Chain A
């Protein structure tokens, strides 16, 4: 199992982005996902900037995948997507069917992102015939679902694609036409002034009894809780997960990545640092399931 650096979810200043990825050059991640997946108004980094970073990582021997938007509304967004797919070198993580269609039209291989809703082996097999090489498990899916997919694929004698699972980070839970950051500041979406740049970690909203609940990040709603599958490394190995995704955050990510990398190298679990692992266990995503409560993964 290898570590990957997932696509940046937040809006950072260009210098911050470049600094972050400069640090990442020293991190033990095998795959780096680059690009904007949340909002097309975030234009600190242009395609050329992402491609420049991509070439630097590729020169280091890392695999680079260019991630695409999860929600497309405007024609200009479709044009940007087309340019991304036509970059001539790097594979794309398709986070919407528009991206899948562009890849299929050009007969290019692609990674299926976590928002494509691939819940079963037949959906995987269908996309494999169209060029999918890897899929990122949907955020709400867990080990039982993955075991069932693999078991049924095996019965059908079908090769299984590479699997990637979110191992660390706030969980992306929803996408909307509405920008919730602009709404919180009583601004129209068209007049947002990309105010999300002031929230490099998004901002957390609490329930009325002051329990942290959601994290607002533009048109995306995340969990306030951090998903942490560090203690699950053994069950991830049993589920033949190929890649474990670490989601970018501004502080301490290098420490987190080394924490995972050391545990992987030692063949051990990584002690808990985060909040939730419920989805992996087929429970509410907000839950934390202790080792004592855990059942061994059963094929559904």
Chain B
């Protein structure tokens, strides 16, 4: 089975780039706090979403709504109305993390497929069965914590189709259960749909052409003149452990699973997700093109081989210009 290619769309231009270069589906969110990439200037108004859905359906492609943050009791109507609006606009599936919203979608829009968001933190057959039995989910996006062998076993045992992250920025914590950003800034992926938000980032020049970057006053890293400076995501900062200065949690690298694509397909993974709704149309075009070529190569009778040109193109758009297989590969630990 050739997995579906699900690409990010932070704008209409990105959506068009995705479909032009071979995406089977895009995932997108409204321009509000209901999704986990609630960045300024990003995401869709109702009008844009309607147009995006028309474009998709004209090409026989799909649009999934990412509605994967957790509303508090005082603000639930925004989330429910967003679900209802997206369904009225014609989205093909709802990607949801929170149980009361899954219940709302199942009750009011039973005909629209529900996917469990990666933010729902489900990593076992039992957890997937919970969401399947209670809310009728048909697909789940796995957190980036399982090894390839564990993904293969889960595909055998899961009551629903499995979607995995194939490429993009790497969350190294269980999605939905990381409060690092909230601890430092008060804003989190769960509640506000942001991680290490730009409004809290402060860059400063230091003597000797060095630079430092803080997140709400917490020093995340300093850079020598010849060092590439990366965005101060808290899990990718350099901290001191005694006398050692190190990337204690993770280096600034991106996930790239091209080399294990045949095994993911063999395992029966239903869909591959590309991360990056915060990235521009050029990124979406580049990444989608490479992954479409790779998926086409899987269909060919000749053995699959990762083309050096693919890796080169993906490296150009990767965070820190390095890529990793991340948790899929045991040695990553």
Among residues of B, the one whose C-beta sits closest to the C-beta of A286 is: B183
Whether B127 pairs with A120 at a CB distance below 8 angstroms is no
Whether B218 pairs with A221 at a CB distance below 8 angstroms is no
In the bound complex, CA of A221 to CA of B171 (Å): 14
Q: Are A126 and B103 CB-contacts (below 8 A) given A115-B177, A117-B190, A221-B173?
A: yes
Contacting B at CB under 8 A, from A12-52, are: none
Q: Does A71 contact B (CB under 8 A)?
A: yes
In the bound complex, CA of A126 to CA of B97 (Å): 15
Least CB distance, A175 to chain B, in whole angstroms = 5
Q: Are A139 and B330 CB-contacts (below 8 A) given A175-B173, A207-B218, A208-B239?
A: no
Contacting residues, chain B, for A175 (C-beta < 8 A): 173-174, 177-178
Q: Does A195 contact B (CB under 8 A)?
A: no
Whether A119 pairs with B191 at a CB distance below 8 angstroms is yes
In the bound complex, CA of A250 to CA of B185 (Å): 30
In the bound complex, CA of A120 to CA of B78 (Å): 13
Q: Does B188 contact A (CB under 8 A)?
A: yes
In the bound complex, CA of A223 to CA of B333 (Å): 22
Whether B121 pairs with A117 at a CB distance below 8 angstroms is yes
Q: Are A97 and B216 CB-contacts (below 8 A) given A178-B250, A208-B221?
A: no
Contacting residues, chain A, for B124 (C-beta < 8 A): 72-73, 77-78, 96, 98
What are 22 residue pairs bridging A and B, where the CB atoms are less than 8 Å apart in the complex? A72-B127, A77-B124, A97-B120, A97-B121, A97-B122, A97-B127, A98-B124, A101-B129, A119-B73, A120-B72, A148-B72, A148-B73, A174-B179, A174-B180, A176-B249, A177-B146, A178-B249, A184-B244, A188-B331, A189-B333, A214-B239, A285-B186
In the bound complex, CA of A205 to CA of B129 (Å): 38
Q: Is the interface of A mostly helix, strand, loop or mixed?
A: mixed
Among residues of B, the one whose C-beta sits closest to the C-beta of A287 is: B186
Q: Using a CB–CB distance below 8 Å, which chain B residues touch chain A?
A: 70-74, 76, 97-100, 103, 120-127, 129-131, 133-134, 144-147, 150, 153, 172-174, 176-180, 182-186, 188, 190-191, 212, 216, 218-222, 235, 237-241, 244-246, 248-250, 327, 330-333
Whether B240 pairs with A205 at a CB distance below 8 angstroms is yes
Whether B179 pairs with A173 at a CB distance below 8 angstroms is yes
User: How many positions in chain A have a CB within 8 Å of any CB in the partner chain?
Assistant: 71
Among residues of A, the one whose C-beta sits closest to the C-beta of B144 is: A177
Contacting residues, chain A, for B153 (C-beta < 8 A): 75
Among residues of B, the one whose C-beta sits closest to the C-beta of A207 is: B219
Whether B219 pairs with A203 at a CB distance below 8 angstroms is no
Whether A214 pairs with B126 at a CB distance below 8 angstroms is no
Beyond A174-B179, A176-B174, A207-B219, list 19 extra A-B contacts (CB 8 Å): A73-B124, A73-B147, A97-B127, A98-B130, A115-B177, A117-B121, A119-B72, A123-B98, A140-B191, A174-B174, A177-B172, A178-B333, A206-B239, A207-B237, A208-B238, A211-B219, A221-B173, A279-B182, A299-B74
Q: Does A254 contact B (CB under 8 A)?
A: no
Option from B146, B173, B216 in Cβ contact (under 8 Å) with A174: B173
Least CB distance, B273 to chain A, in whole angstroms = 17
Q: Are A120 and B100 CB-contacts (below 8 A) given A96-B127, A97-B131, A214-B239?
A: yes
In the bound complex, CA of A98 to CA of B174 (Å): 15
In the bound complex, CA of A149 to CA of B127 (Å): 25
Whether B183 pairs with A173 at a CB distance below 8 angstroms is yes
Q: Does A59 contact B (CB under 8 A)?
A: no
Q: Does A210 contact B (CB under 8 A)?
A: yes
Whether A73 pairs with B333 at a CB distance below 8 angstroms is no
Least CB distance, B118 to chain A, in whole angstroms = 13
In the bound complex, CA of A174 to CA of B233 (Å): 14
Q: Using a CB–CB distance below 8 Å, which chain A residues touch chain B?
A: 70-75, 77-78, 81, 96-98, 100-102, 104, 115, 117, 119-123, 126-127, 130, 139-141, 145, 148-149, 151-152, 171, 173-180, 182-184, 188-190, 203, 205-211, 213-214, 216, 221, 223, 278-279, 282-286, 299-300
In the bound complex, CA of A149 to CA of B75 (Å): 11
Interface centre among A81, A173, A176, A284 (most CB of B within 10 A): A176
Contacting residues, chain B, for A173 (C-beta < 8 A): 178-180, 183
Contacting residues, chain B, for A122 (C-beta < 8 A): 73, 76, 100, 103
In the bound complex, CA of A171 to CA of B245 (Å): 23
Whether B219 pairs with A104 at a CB distance below 8 angstroms is no
Whether B178 pairs with A71 at a CB distance below 8 angstroms is no
Least CB distance, A125 to chain B, in whole angstroms = 8
Whether B74 pairs with A148 at a CB distance below 8 angstroms is yes
Whether A119 pairs with B71 at a CB distance below 8 angstroms is yes
Among residues of A, the one whose C-beta sits closest to the C-beta of B330 is: A190
Whether A101 pairs with B126 at a CB distance below 8 angstroms is yes
Among residues of A, the one whose C-beta sits closest to the C-beta of B200 is: A284
Q: Are A174 and B241 CB-contacts (below 8 A) given A72-B123, A101-B129, A148-B73?
A: no
Least CB distance, B84 to chain A, in whole angstroms = 16
Among residues of A, the one whose C-beta sits closest to the C-beta of B119 is: A117
Whether A71 pairs with B73 at a CB distance below 8 angstroms is no
Least CB distance, A144 to chain B, in whole angstroms = 8
Q: Are A98 and B126 CB-contacts (below 8 A) given A175-B174, A207-B218?
A: yes
In the bound complex, CA of A183 to CA of B132 (Å): 36
Q: Give the top 3 A-B pairs by smallest Cβ distance, nearest first.
A: A189-B333, A122-B100, A177-B145
Least CB distance, B123 to chain A, in whole angstroms = 6
Contacting residues, chain A, for B103 (C-beta < 8 A): 122, 126
In the bound complex, CA of A97 to CA of B144 (Å): 17
Least CB distance, A233 to chain B, in whole angstroms = 23
Whether B240 pairs with A207 at a CB distance below 8 angstroms is yes
Interface centre among B121, B237, B330 (most CB of A within 10 A): B121
Least CB distance, A57 to chain B, in whole angstroms = 28
Q: Are A188 and B178 CB-contacts (below 8 A) given A97-B130, A120-B73, A207-B240?
A: no
Option from B131, B240, B250, B332 in Cβ contact (under 8 Å) with A206: B240
Contacting residues, chain B, for A284 (C-beta < 8 A): 182-186, 216
